[in-house]
Structure 1
Amino acid sequence: MTKVAFLLANDYEDSEMKNPYDSIVEAGYETVIIGLEKGIECKGKKETVSYLTDLAVADADASDFDAVIIPGGSAPEELRVNEDVIKFVKELNNKSAVIAGICHGPQVMISADILRGHEVTCYQGIRDDVKNGGAKYINEEVVVSQNIITSRTPKDEPAFIREILAKLN
């Protein structure tokens, strides 16, 4: 069965977690919420949803997963400075697993140094960071570049989810 990780820390953009998560679950994929620690509650910045982490990233084995989704908001800033997060994302990229980030989610990909040579979109405020990370920035609702899927904001979630599901199928 296809196994999808969601990388999460506090202050993520609520809908950027909830809508992809619900869609992945509804499609029948196994989901695992990975945080900096196991069993901690991560709250969205608007506090409309919260999730308990199933697994600490230090205990996550990239070989067990087919995809990772990184919601935006402020959470990616906290995640990107954790060496276990970076190692996990790099290992997933090395096996060409799907790596999807929306809004500020690509910040984790920048820190993992996996964007070089890819076309990417993101929240406008980090477009220079994406370019400095070696990617070509494209201002579109969703951009698919090999195994990497990126979107800009909550309004782009339908396209983001559509492309993730298409890659998983």
Structure 2
Amino acid sequence: MSKKIAVLVTNLFEDSEYTSPVQALEEAGHTTVSIEHKAGNVVKGKKGEAEVIIDKGIDEVNPEDFDALLIPGGFSPDSLRKHESFLEFVRHFDTEQKPIFTICHGPQLMINAEVVKGKKMTSVSQVAIDLKNAGANWEDSALVIDESGLITSRTPEDLPVFNKAIVKALEK
């Protein structure tokens, strides 16, 4: 059954951490919706390899309309985490125990939403101390799946196992 996945993204996202999971999800028959401040904005990856035309502005979407959430890494999550509307969006997925998929610096958005305490997670190494301080059980693994449905990975090198796991998680 096809699922609808929200993707929170803004400028300076890690190019492959957006393009690769989105491609894997769409190839599996799911719909992805890019969400930023305003629909129609064009956001660019930090390596200049990818650009995304935003589908919806955060004020136009209801998290109840989505089955899962993808948060790519790069500098994008750090930029988005200062905006309460994005934090509220993330909190909905945590409260409803809908799947959240995040990689690299993506957990920064979850830290500010205060939804990591007690969860098994991984991230890029520089975010590890922030996750630990926020109460997460951080481990240095290519893929960590928490019982809440949260799936995390560290870096672009982990994308093959990350993509496989997020597609499998949506088969339920």
TM bracket, shorter-chain basis:
over 0.9
What is the CA-CA distance between 1:59 and the residue it aligns to? 1.8
- Provide the C-alpha distance between the structure 1 equivalents of 2:29 and 2:152, rounded to a whole number of angstroms: 22
Amino acid at match of 2:150: I
What is the CA-CA distance between 1:91 and the residue it aligns to? 0.8
Q: Does 1:153 align with 2:142?
A: no
- Provide the C-alpha distance between the structure 1 equivalents of 2:112 and 2:132, rounded to a whole number of angstroms: 13
What is the CA-CA distance between 1:166 and the residue it aligns to? 1.2
Local SS of the residue matching 1:122: coil
Q: Which runs of 4+ in 1 moved over 2 A?
A: none
Local SS of the residue matching 2:32: strand
Q: Deviations along 1:27-70, whole A, 9 cap, x unmatched?
A: 11011001121110010001111011111112210110011111
Local SS of the residue matching 1:91: helix
Could you tell me whether the CA contact under 8 Å between 1:36 and 1:79 is conserved in 2?
A: no
Alignment of 1:101-120 (within 5 A): 101-120=102-121
- Provide the C-alpha distance between the structure 1 equivalents of 2:84 and 2:38, rounded to a whole number of angstroms: 13
Match of residue 25 from structure 2: 24
Match of residue 169 from structure 2: 167
Amino acid at match of 2:133: N
Match of residue 129 from structure 1: 130
Amino acid at match of 1:166: K
Could you list the runs of 5+ residues in structure 1 that have no partner in the other structure?
Answer: none
TM-score by length of 2: 0.96
Local SS of the residue matching 1:45: coil
Could you list the runs of 5+ residues in structure 2 that have no partner in the other structure?
Answer: none
Matched residue pairs, number?
169
TM-score by length of 1: 0.98
- Provide the C-alpha distance between the structure 1 equivalents of 2:61 and 2:115, rounded to a whole number of angstroms: 19
Identity %: 38
